[in-house]
Structure 1
Amino acid sequence: MRIAFFSAAASSALLIAGCTASDLPDQERVVAPILTSEQAFDEFTYARPLEARVTHVALDLDLDFEGRRVEGTATLDVQAAEDATEIVLDSNGLMIGGVTDGLGNELEFTVGEADPDNAEKGEPITVQLGEMTGPELQQVVISYASGPEAEALQWLSPEQTAGGEHPFVFSQGQAILNRTWIPTQDSPGIRQTWEARVTAPEPLTVVMSGISRGDPEPVEDADSDRRAFEFVMNNSVPPYLIAIAAGNLEFAELGPRSGVYAEPEMIEAAAEELGDTEELIDAGIELFGEYRWGRYDMIILPPAFPYGGMENPVMTFLTPTFIAGDRSNNGLIAHELAHSWSGNLTTYASWRDGWLNEGVTSYIENRISEEVYGEQRAEQEYALSYASLEEAVENAGADNPNTAMRSPDEISPFDTVGPAIYDKGTVFLRTVENIVGREEFDAWLTAWFDNHAFQPVTSEMMLADMRENLIGDNPELEEQLMLDEWVYGTGIPDNALAPDPAAFADADAAAQAYAADGNLPEAGAWESWTAASQRRFLENLPETLSDEQLATLNETLRLSESGNNEVLFLWLEAALRNEYDPAVDQARSFLSTVGRNKFVAPLFRAMWETGDWGQPIATDLYARTRGGYHSYTRGNVDEIVGYSNEG
C-alpha cells in the first residue's frame, strides 16, 4: 500500500475544452451555514460541526484496480471554534496511515468503535488539533486507503463491461457510503468544496463530479503507465455528491454545455438518446432560474449501477437501461437535471427530509418534461406517479409512519417508502400549484432556490417560507393547503390533486376490457401508444394470469422483444409471479446483465413469493449474479431471499 503525504496546492488556471476559468461558476469558495434546529440534526454522522467542521476536501489518490482500493491522502480545511481541541470525522472501514497538519507535523488521532445499533454509521476518527485553534481555517492531512469492502465503490472486471477488455470502477455515495472511501464529515448538512488529483492506468479515463482542470498528465515517477486527472468543485456540496468513475471511456459532445461519456460500444446510442439535453437545460432555466454549475455532463455506467441515475453535479451517473432508442425514458434525464436546483443547490440537512430533494425534484422533472415533451406526456407521468403513491399507501396503510414525507423520529428515514419521498412530494407541490396558481407558485419556488442556494434546508424552513412568501396573511389559503398534514402526516391528504383521467383513457379502457373479457389492443394500436401508456396497461394487468393468457399477451404485444426496459421489466414481473416457464430464460439473462435495483429486487421477489416454483430458480441465479450487484442492490435482494454469508 502506498502511503504518502500531500499538501493540496492552490487552484491553478482551469482549462477544459470549450471552458476557461472565467466561464466557471462561483470561483470564490463560500462556506455554507450549519443549521442548528432540531430538524437539521443528523444522527448518521459522528461529526460535531459547531465545534470543528470540514469546509474543503483535497484528494490525491491512486486507483488500485488489482487491490480494489483507492489510496493516498485527503487534505481537509478545518474551521474550528476558539475552544475546540479536536475534530471528529466519519469513516467506515478506512485504513489510516497517519495524520498531520498542513505543515507535516503529526497529529494524534484515534479510530473509535462502530455504533453497535447502527452498523452502517461506521466508526469515528477523532483528530487532536493541537495548536490549531481559533476561527481561522486550518488543514488536516490524512494518509489512508479504502478497505477491501468499501461499499461506495464497485470494482468491475472487464467481463462486466460492454467492451470486455478493461476494468471499471464507479462510486455511489448516497446516502452514507462515501465515508468508505473519503475521510470527511459525511453529512448532507455539512457542505464542502473539493478538488482532486486521481491517477489511473492507461488507457482508462477518470471522471468526477467536478470541473476537469484539463487533459490528463502522465505520471513520470510511476512504475507503470499511469495518468493523473485533476478536478475542482468550488460550489459547496453535500459530501455524498463527491463521485468518481473510471473506465475505457469516450466523450460525445451534445451541445455547448453538455456531453456524455460512455464505453466506445455504447457512445453512439447514448449520444442519440440524450439529444434533447440542451433543450431540457433551457427549460429548467426558463422555469426556475439560473443553472449555476457551468456544465451538465453525463456518464453511462455499466449495467451494474444500482439506480436509474445519480445527480452528481456536472457529471450525472446513468444506467444504460434507460436507453430505449426513442427517448421515451428521458424523464430520467429531466429528473437528474432537476436536481441542479433541488437537492444539489438546496439540500436537506437531515436524511429525514428526503422529500425536499426527491419530491421537489420529481415535481420539477414533470414541469421540464411538459416544456420539452408536451402536456400529454407530463400528465401521463404525473398519473403514473399518483398511482404509485396510491399503491404504496394502500400496501403500507394510510396511518403508517413510513408514508409521511418528513420521516418521524420513531422510524429510520431509510425505511420511508420511496413513493412518500418522490411521488407524495410531487403530488403535494402540484396541489399547492393548483390552489395558488402556477405563475405565483413558480415565482415563489424560484425565489426559494435563489435565497437558499448552496445551503442546507429543512422542512420547517420550507413551510415557514411558504407561509411568509406564498400564503401571507390569508388564513383561508392556509387551511386550503393543509401544509402540515402533507409534510408530517401519513397517507394522502384529502385535497390532493388527482390526475386527469383522460391522460390514460385508451390504456385504462384497454386494461378494463382485458380484465373483463380478455380482449387485447391490436398490435398496431399498441405500438402507437406512448411508453407511459404501455406501462399503465401492464401495471393494471390482473394479478393472476394463465400460461395461455401470458402466451397470448406476449405473442400479440411482443412484450419480450421490447427495447424499453421499463416495459420489459413489467412483462417479466407478470410472467414470473404467474410461474410462466417460457419467461425464465429471459429473466435469467436480464438479471445477469442488469443491476438496477428497481428491476432486480422486484423480479427476485416475484420468483421468491411463488414458493416451490420460483425459489430454486432465484437461489441458483442469485448465487451466480450476487457478486456483480452493487451493495445497495445486494442488501435488498439478500433480505428477499434470506441470504447470509453463512449460507
Structure 2
Amino acid sequence: MKKIALLLGYLIISISSCSKKQNTTMPSYIEEPHSFSQPNDAAITHLDLDINVDFDNEIIHGKASYLIKNNEASQIILDAKFLTIDKVQADGKDTTFTLGDFNEQLGNPLKIDIKQNTKRITVFYKTTHKTEALQWLKPQQTADKNQPFLFTQGQAILTRTWIPIQDSPQIRITYNAKVKVPSQLMAVMSAENPKTKTPDGHYTFKMAQPISPYLIALAVGDIEYKAISNRTGIYAEKSMVEKAHYEFSDMENMVASAETLYGTYAWEQFDVIVLPPSFPFGGMENPRLTFATPTVIAGDKSLTSLIAHELAHSWSGNLVTNATWDDFWLNEGFTVYFEMRIMEALYGKDRANMLARIGRQDLEEEMEGFKDAPENTKLKLNLKGRNPDDGMNSIAYDKGYLFLRTLEETVGREKFDTFLKSYFQKHAFSTINTEKFVTFLNENLLEKYSITFNTNEWIYTAGIPDNQSIISSDKFETVEKTIQQFVITNTVDKTLTKDWTTQEWVHFVRNFPNDIKTEHLTMIDNAFNLTNSNNSYIAMVWYEQAINHDYHGNNIDAKIEDFLMTVGRRWYVSTIYKAFKRNEKTDAALAIYSKARSNYHSVTANTIDDMLDFKQN
C-alpha cells in the first residue's frame, strides 16, 4: 500500500508539473472586457489571410487561418461581428462551431471546437453590408474620381468586423496575406508593401513583427508610390502624390530625430498613404504604413505634427501597446509627449509649445464637457459595458501628455529620457497595463533617484492636479495682444499676421471675445478670407465661431455645408455639428447630416448619430 501511495503521489506531482510546464508556454493574459476570447485557454499567434476584394458586391470573402497556442483546451473563441461564417477547419479537417449571442458593441463569440493538440484553425467567411471597419467609396468620393476605393479602420474593436479574430490589444500576432483586387487597383497593408501595381491584381504581404489586431489594415485604390528616402515614402492617388510628397518631405528627418531620442525604429519602413477625405481620423498608426487624412495637406507643412504623432506611435502604441482600452492613455499620452519632442527637435521649442498650448485648450474644453461625469477625466478608465471609443478623447491624449511633461520637468529631461528609452526597450513587442507601468516608473525612476511625485493622483483621480506644467508661448502672447488691439481699435492690421503659422491663426480665431459682434467677424473675414481658407483646421475653427456668433456673411453657410459633405474627419465634423447643437440649431445640422452621412465612415457616423439623436429611416 505504501508503494502504491508513493506511486500515486509521484504521478500526481508529475501531472501537476506537466500542467505547469504547459502553462509556461502560454503568455499570461489579463481579463479584458472588450473581447469574447479566452486566450489563456487558447490563443492565436500567426495569421495567414487569403481574401478576395469584391467591389461589385462590396464584400470581402476568403479565409483566415491561424496558428494557435493551445493550453489543452477543447475550444478556441474568436470575435466576429457582422460576418458570415461558411465553415471552420481544425488542422485541415472540418470542425463544428457556434456563433454565440449577439452583443451590439462586441458582436458574437465564434466558438470553435478543437482538440487538445490542435495547432491550426481556418475560418472561411465573408463580410456583409453591415461591416463597420470597411468603407467602400464610389469613384466620385475619391480625389481623382476615376476608380473606387476601399480602406479599413480597425481601432478600437472593428477588426472583428472584417476578419474573425481574437480582437484584443493584448493579443500580438504576425501575419501573411494574399489579397486579390481588380487589376486596375493596388492593394497595400500594414506590412511589407508593393511599390507598383501588379498586372493581375494579386498581392502578397508579410508582417514579421507581432502586432495587435487593431493594427491590421488594408487599403485598395488607384494609387501610386513616391519615395522620400530609402525607408520613407508616400502612397496617394495620382492628383495628390506631388502635394503629399512635398507636404511630408520631412519624414526621414522625423524618423532620424525620433531614433536619436528613444532608440532604433523597429519596423524598417515608414510610409504614409493619403486616403480619401472620408477617413475618420487625422491619422492611424498602422505599422509600416500610416493612414492619413488629406485635411493635413495645407501646402506649407504646418499640419505635419500629425505625421510626427503617427511616427511616435511606432514606439508608444505599436512597440509597447496598451493591454486593454482602459489603459488607452498609455498609447496616446506617451505619443503626444513624443510628438512634441520630435517637433521641438525639428522646428524649435516655441512651435512645440504652440501645439501643446492648443492641446491644453482642447483638454480644458473636454474637462468642461465631463463636468457631470468627472470619472471620465481619469487616465485609467473603467470602460466595461461601454464602447472603447468613449475613452478616445483629449483626456487620454492631452492629460496623458501633461502628466508626462510635468513628470519630466520634475525629474529633469536627461533622467526622463533615459527612463523612457529603457521603458520602450524593456517592453518592446509586448503589452502593458497602467499598474505595471506605475511599478516600472517607481522602480526605474522615482525610487531610483528618491523623487516624490503624485503619480496616483494624476492617473487614478478626476481632474488635473495642481502641480501641472504651465505651458507658455511668446507667439501666442503676441496673438492675444493682436486680438486686444482689434477689440479696442476696430481695425485689422494685416502686417501683424503676415508670418503667422496655422497654430497662431487657430489660437486667434478660438480666442475671440464671447461678445464679438457680427460686424467684427465680417471685418475679419473680409481682411483674411477665412471662410474660403484652404487650411482645413483654420476653416474648422472659423466655421465653429461663425455658428457660435450667428455669422452668415461671405456665403459661409454654403461653405460649411460643403465642408461637412466632403470631410469625414470625426474631430472636424463633430466640432461643427456640436456647435450647431450647442447653439440650438439642431434642425440645420440634421438637414446637412441627412445628406452627408453616407459619405462618412461608420466611426464618424456613429458619433454624430448619438450627438444629434439621428435615426435612419
Q: TM-score, normalised by structure 1?
A: 0.88
Displacement of 1:316: 0.2
Question: 2: distance between equivalents of 1:574 and 1:92?
Answer: 40
Rounded Cα–Cα distance in structure 2 between residues aligned with 1:439 and 1:403: 30
Counterparts of 2:467 and 2:48, CA distance in 1:
49
Q: Name the structure 2 match of 1:12.
A: none
The equivalent residue for 1:551 is: 522
Does residue 97 of structure 2 align to residue 109 of structure 1? yes
- Are residues 199 and 541 of structure 1, via their aligned partners in 2, closer, same or farther at CA, if it must alter by over 3 Å? same
Aligned partner letter, 2:147: H
- Are 2:81 and 2:106, in contact at CA under 8 Å, matched by a contact in 1? yes
Matched, 1:620 2:609: no
Tell me what 2:143 maps to: 162
Find out whether 1:64 has 2:49 as its counterpart: no
Mapped partners of 1:584, 1:545: distance in 2: 19
For residues 267-304 of structure 1, give each alpha carbon's deviation from its aligned partner in whole angstroms, at most 9, with x where no partner exists. Answer: 11000001100000000000000100010011000000
In structure 1, distance between residues paired with 2:116 and 2:422: 43
Shift of 1:237: 0.5
Aligned pairs (5 A) from 1:199-348: 199-212=180-193, 218=199, 226-348=200-322
Cα distance 1:558–1:74, how it changes in 2: closer, same or farther (>3 A)? Answer: same
Q: Does 1:192 align with 2:166?
A: no
Query: Structure 1, residues 579-621: CA drift from partner, whole Å, max 9, x if none?
Result: 323310111111111111111112122223333xx43432222
CA contact (8 A) 1:210 1:232 kept: yes
User: SS of the counterpart of 1:211?
Assistant: coil
Alpha carbons 1:379, 1:503 under 8 Å: kept: no
Which letter does structure 2 place at the counterpart of 1:110? T
AA paired with 1:89? L
**2:474 equivalent among 502, 508, 511:** 502
| Cα 1:544–1:143 shift into 2, 3 Å | farther
- Which residue identity is paired with 2:117? M
Contact kept in structure 2, 1:35 and 1:456, CA below 8 Å? no
Per-residue CA distance 1:325-355 (angstroms, 9 max, x = gap):
1100010000000000000000001000111
Kindly tell me: are residues 213 and 32 of structure 1, through their superposed partners in 2, closer, same or farther at Cα, counting changes over 3 Å?
farther
Partner of 2:545: 574
SS at match of 1:169: strand
Of residues 53, 57, 77 in structure 1, which corresponds to 2:67? 77
Q: Identify which of 540, 558, 582 aligns with 1:609.
A: 582
**Aligned residue type for 1:44:** H
Equivalent runs, 1:576-591 vs 2, <5 Å: 576-582=547-553, 583-591=556-564
In the alignment, is residue 483 of structure 1 matched against residue 471 of structure 2? Answer: no
Count of residues in correspondence between the two structures: 591
SS at match of 2:565: helix
Q: 1:26 maps to what in 2?
A: none
- Give 3-state SS (helix, strand or coil) of 1:528's partner: coil
Tell me whether 1:592 sits opposite 2:568 in the alignment: no
Larger deviation, residues 546-555 vs 235-244: 546-555
SS in 1 for 2:45: strand
* Aligned counterparts, 1:73-152, within 5 A: 73-82=63-72, 84-102=73-91, 104-115=92-103, 119-130=104-115, 132-133=117-118, 138-152=119-133
1:397 is matched by which residue type in structure 2?
Answer: K
**Letter of the aligned partner of 2:457 in structure 1?**
E
Shift of 1:398: 9.1
Partner of 2:612: 641
Equivalent residue for 2:419? 444
**Structure 1 residues 268 and 492 mapped into 2: Cα distance closer, same or farther (>3 Å)?**
same
For the pair 1:468 / 2:458, whether they are aligned, the reply is no
Q: Deviations over 1:445-497 (max 9, x none)?
A: 0000001001011111111111101012555x22xx21011111111111111
Change (3 A) 1:591 1:213: closer
Aligned-partner residue type, residue 82 of structure 2: G
Conserved in 2, the CA contact under 8 Å of 1:353 and 1:459?
yes
- Describe the shift of the 1:206–1:370 C-alpha distance in structure 2 as closer, same or farther (beyond 3 A): same
- Corresponding residue for residue 534 of structure 2: 563
User: 4+ residue stretches of structure 1 with deviation over 6 A?
Assistant: none
Q: Is 1:525 paired with 2:467?
A: no
Q: CA deviation at 1:417?
A: 6.5
Aligned 1:11-50 pairs, distance under 5 A? 34-36=27-29, 40-50=30-40
| 1:379 matches 2:350 | no
Change (3 A) 1:495 1:361: same
Identify the residue that residue 7 of structure 2 maps to in structure 1.
none
Partner SS state of residue 430, structure 1: helix
* Partner SS, residue 95 of structure 2: coil
- C-alpha contact 1:210 1:314 (8 A) present in aligned 2: yes
CA distance in 1 between counterparts of 2:290 and 2:570 reads: 18
Alpha-carbon spacing, 1:395–1:253, altered in 2? closer, same or farther (3 Å): same
| SS of residue in 2 equivalent to 1:367 | helix
Question: What's the CA shift string for 1:93-146, capped at 9, x where partnerless?
Answer: 1101111123x311111111113xxx120001000013635xxxx111111001
Look up the SS of the partner of 2:93 in the other structure: coil
Corresponding residue number in structure 2 for 1:366: 340
1:404/1:416 contact within 8 Å kept: no
Partner of 1:629: 600
Per-residue CA distance 1:19-38 (angstroms, 9 max, x = gap): xxxxxxxxxxxx997444xx
Any conservation in 2 of the 1:522–1:556 contact (CA below 8 Å)? no
Q: Which amino acid aligns with 2:153?
A: Q
Distance (Å, rounded) in 2 between the aligned partners of 1:505 and 1:252:
40
Change in Cα spacing, 1:205 to 1:417, as seen in structure 2 (3 Å) is closer
The letter for the 2-side match of 1:522 is D
Structure 1 position 542 matched with structure 2 position 530: no
Residues 348 and 567 from structure 1, CA distance in 2 versus in 1: closer, same or farther, beyond 3 angstroms? same
Q: Which sections of structure 2, spanning at least 5 residues, go unmatched?
A: 1-23
Inter-CA distance 640–520: structure 2 relative to 1 (3 Å threshold): farther
1:143-181: CA deviation from partner (whole Å, max 9, x where unpaired) = 100111110000000010111110000000000001001
- The CA distance in 1 between the partners of 2:574 and 2:163, in whole Å, is 29
The residue type equivalent to 1:122 in the other structure is: G
Q: Do 2:185 and 2:197's aligned partners in 1 also have CA atoms closer than 8 Å?
A: no
CA 1:273–1:409: 2 relative to 1, 3 Å: closer
**Secondary structure of the residue that 1:427 maps to in structure 2?**
helix
SS at match of 1:163: coil
Q: C-alpha displacement at 1:547, in angstroms?
A: 2.6
Paired amino acid for 1:592: M
Q: Which residue of 1 aligns with 2:17?
A: none
- Contact map agreement 2:174 2:208 (CA 8 A) in 1: yes
Question: What stretches of structure 1 of length at least 5 have no aligned partner?
Answer: 1-30, 219-225
Q: Distance in 1 between matches of 2:507 and 2:472?
A: 14
CA distance, structure 2, for counterparts of residue 466 and residue 131 of structure 1:
40
The C-alpha deviation readout for 1:38-75, integer Å capped at 9, x for no partner, is: xx431010000000001011110000111111100101
User: What amino acid maps onto 1:111 in structure 2?
Assistant: L
Structure 1 contact 41–349 (Cα < 8 Å) conserved: no
Q: Hey, what's the Cα distance between the residues in 1 that align with 2:203 and 2:491?
A: 55
Q: Give the secondary-structure state (helix, strand or coil) at the position aligned to 1:197.
A: strand
Mapping of 1:385-404 within 5 angstroms?
A: 385-397=359-371, 400-404=374-378
RMSD: 1.9
* 1:381 CA drift (Å): 1.1
